[in-house]
Amino acid sequence: MATSSPRQLYYDGQVRAASSGKTFQTVNPATATPIADIQSRIPFMVPNPPPIARARILQKAALILRQRNDEIARVETLDCGKAFTETSTVDVVTGADVLEYYANFIGGGGLNGETTQLREDAWVYTKKAPLGVCAGIGAWNYPIQIALWKSAACLAAGNTMVYKPSEYTPLHAQTLAEIYTEAGLPAGVFNVVHGAGDVGAYLTSHPAVAKVSFTGQVATGQKVAGAASGNMKYVTMELGGKSPLIICPDADLENAVDGAMMANFYSTGQVCTNGTRVFVPRSMKAAFEKRLLEKIPYVRAGPLFDEQTNFGPLSSAVHYEKVISYIRHGIQTDRATLLCGGPEKPDVPQDLQAGFWVKPTIFTDCTDSMRIVKEEIFGPVMSILYYDTVEEAVKRANATELGLAAGVFTKDLNQAHRVIDQLQAGITWINTWGESPAEMAVGGWKKSGLGVENGRRGIEAWVQNKSTLVDMSGAVVTVFAKL
Ligand code: NAD
């Protein structure tokens, strides 16, 4: 039974019914029961206040988000299956941070253009003009954070957005639209449409859409980028990864183990930047594995609103099947050594047993050619790869078509920067893993994406340049003068 009212479309500043009348369901991953019916289909359109006024609206929306943090986090927990300890401290907060960041940025003149004096009586000025109607298409792993990272920059830059959440986790979208309206955003500036890939594809090819900002899998991103760029639409692609984490021989063992666990088990491994290929010096093997196993009990599956729980189920039945089949493949076909975990369900209370629970799983003695090492699993599955020299580890770390994130643990300052410099990835960490503040521009290299979100560079993807040459000489330079 659905336990929440149906989610409809949001456009022209209010909730509206879908003309198609089509619906689909969203499911609580901890128990496998439906939460709400979602209506699907399409609307559209525009206006635009000046930057300082936009800044005030975005600031107010950030404030409302913070005030309603726990209520929104609760819905995210039910919709995505993430522990409340996580959604209440990360998902809404990191989204509101980006709204505040861009509000301050544009309020302080961050979108001003440049003026260049060419000659005494001529100059060039540039303007950063909005793109118009932009589409935001989200993944299911950080629903409200993704919605905010896209819409904050989009709206700050003066555009309007049609946002399509993932069909697996749609509940946050209407709430965010209502918050923007309450904060004073004019009707029609932030709109929500629901549906699966067909609705996403419709948005991507719609002639009124000037830009598509997409977060999702590489294979979907390739289709979206192909369709959008053929029509000269701007694109930002935030895609998947298979990121390397290199632990150097001099690294602090405790930090290395904590880093590897955060890089693999946080959010039940459903983080795009996960460091799933953990390169460990062969000399550290025994100590690393021992400490890792000692700490595995700190990963606590359980009731999602329990304050001890830090590990939820996977987000859907389909995704559960995918992750379990990778774990089976690792054992049966890749023949990696299973250090802990496996395909059986973890111990959870009776009422949760139908949920999409999986154990934190570690494979060791992995080799570069194994499928579990090459492909993004997007679950709590760590692969440990042993190496002899740091140069070798860097080379193997880069031997992938993906380049989302990378990291290194070492006490040697020079080594830290040298290794990071050599790693082919857009988001990198030294002696830590996963933090992604509003100030930090993030985006993948290679097939992991195009462009960045957040930071000063992030907003540049939501504007187009206009250069104007002004001539005050009083005469037009012409070759067509009388002889
Ligand atoms: P997905 O590609 O299956 O779906 C993403 C979105 O695309 C959904 O809203 C879906 O409805 C839509 N879609 C599907 N087909 C489409 C089409 N043909 N045209 C337009 N839209 C279409 O991805 P997912 O399974 O929801 O998300 C998990 C993936 O997202 C992982 O690979 C993860 O690494 C990646 N991810 C990346 C980042 C990042 O910032 N780089 C962040 C979060 C997740």
Both structure tokens of 158: 């003066």
Q: What is the pLDDT of residues 56-104, one digit of tens each?
A: 999 999 999 999 999 999 999 999 999 999 999 999 999 999 999 999 9
Q: Is 48 in the pocket of ligand 1 (CB under 6 A)?
A: no
Contact 450, 239 (CB under 8 A): no
Residue of minimum CA distance from atom 16 in ligand 1 = 197
Which residues partner with 141 through β-bridges?
Answer: none
Residue to mutate, 272, 320, 400, 436, ligand 1, most ligand atoms under 8 Å from C-beta: 272
Calpha distance 172→288 (Å, rounded): 40
CA of 15 to the centre of ligand 1 (A): 25
The whole-chain average pLDDT of the chain stands at 93
Residues forming beta bridges with residue 149, ordered by sequence position: none
Residue among 201, 133, 142, 195 nearest 162 (CA): 133
pLDDT at residue 354 above 70?
yes
Bridge partner list, 465: 128
**Percent helix, strand and coil across the chain, each to the nearest 5:** 40, 25, 35
- Whether the per-residue pLDDT at 34 is higher than 90: the answer is no
203 touches 164 (CB < 8 A)? yes
Ligand 1: does its nearest atom lie under 6 Å from the Cβ of 315? Answer: no
Please name which of 351, 368, 154, 163 lies closest in space to residue 278, comparing C-alpha atoms. 368
| Residue 239 Cβ < 6 Å to ligand 1 | yes
Residue 157 scores a pLDDT above 80: yes
Atom of ligand 1 minimally distant from the CA of 453: 40
Confidence category of residue 421, pLDDT binned at 50, 70, 90: very high
Query: Rounded distance, CA 134 to CA 148, Å?
Result: 14
Query: Kind and range of the H or E element at 380?
Result: none
Sign of CA dihedral 8, 13, 14, 17: negative
Q: Is there an atom of ligand 1 within 6 Å of 366 CB?
A: no
Encode pLDDT of 223-234 as tens digits. Answer: 999 999 888 999
Residue located nearest, by CA, to atom 19 of ligand 1? 201
Q: Whose CA is nearest to atom 12 of ligand 1?
A: 197
Known catalytic membership, residue 238? yes
Residue with CA at minimum distance from ligand 1 atom 26: 139
Q: Is the CB of residue 196 below 6 angstroms from any atom belonging to ligand 1?
A: yes
Beta-carbon count within 10 A of 321 CB: 12
Q: Enumerate domains of the chain plus CATH numbers.
A: 9-239+448-467 (3.40.605.10), 244-430 (3.40.309.10)
Atom number, ligand 1, closest to the C-alpha of residue 221:
2
Give the tokens for residue 408: 């290194």
Phi, psi of 87 (to 5 degrees): -65, -35
Instruction: Give helix 171-183 / helix 69-80 axis angle, nearest 10°.
Output: 160
C-alpha span between 89 and 69 (Å, rounded)? 9
CA 247–ligand 1 middle distance (angstroms) = 30
Which among 261, 313, 292 is positioned nearest to 433, based on CA atoms?
A: 261
Pocket test for ligand 1, best of 24, 166, 273, 445 (most atoms within 8 A of CB): 166
State in Å: Cα 192 to ligand 1 middle.
17
pTM of the shown model: 0.93
Question: How do residues 275-295 score in pLDDT, each as one tens digit?
Answer: 999 999 999 999 999 999 999
> Residue 39 has what pLDDT?
53
Beta bridge partners of 4: 36
Q: What is the mean pLDDT of residues 205-211?
A: 93
Q: What is the CA radius of gyration of the chain?
A: 24
Q: Is the CB of 237 under 6 A from ligand 1?
A: no
Q: Which of 238, 289, 376, 453 is catalytic?
A: 238
Distance CA 237, CA 306 (A): 35
Residue nearest to atom 41 of ligand 1 (CA): 238
Residue 4 CA: distances (Å) to CA of 8, 82, 142: 12, 18, 20
Q: How far is the CA of 138 from the centre of ligand 1 (A)?
A: 6
- Closest Cα partner for 378 from 220, 257, 242, 236? 242
196 Cα–ligand 1 center, Å? 10
Ligand 1 atom with the shortest distance to the CA of 138:
9
Cα of 239 to ligand 1 centre, how many Å? 7
CA–centroid distance, residue 136 to ligand 1 (Å): 11
Per-residue pLDDT averaged across 39-67, rounded?
81
Distance of CA 437 from the midpoint of ligand 1 (Å): 22
